[in-house]
Structure 1
Amino acid sequence: MTTEWLKATGLALGLALGEALCCTPGEIISLANADAIRHGAKQKRTIKTFDEFLALE
């Protein structure tokens, strides 16, 4: 993940250039994930406990 990828992704998601440059990488990735889910991608599981992590296959 590069600065250019983050900037291009932010712009593709409808952010202004200033917004894309001021957002943290985590915010842009969260926006990209939400956009992917909105367009039909399956939501990944959220692991909240260590026991859930150990139960993964």
Structure 2
Amino acid sequence: MTDETDPETADGSGASTDGVRDTSRETAPMSPYDSAAVGLGLLVLLVGLVVAFGVPLLGTL
């Protein structure tokens, strides 16, 4: 067996990049957000906490 590396798939993902990297991708902390997004996140957190803790507590009463 030979251990040859294909330069197009050198990262092991199997995806062909043709030697071009896409630099337009941003990660989440770099993306701007406003107070509406924070409020929505808090609302989702609150609903999740009610489902995770409130519903089981009601089941024990």
Fold match, TM over 0.5?
A: no
Q: Larger Cα Rg: Structure 1 or Structure 2?
A: 2
TM-score when normalising by structure 2: 0.29
TM-score when normalising by structure 1: 0.30
- Report which structure shows greater RCO (CA 8 Å, sep ≥6): 1
Greater helix percent: which structure? 1
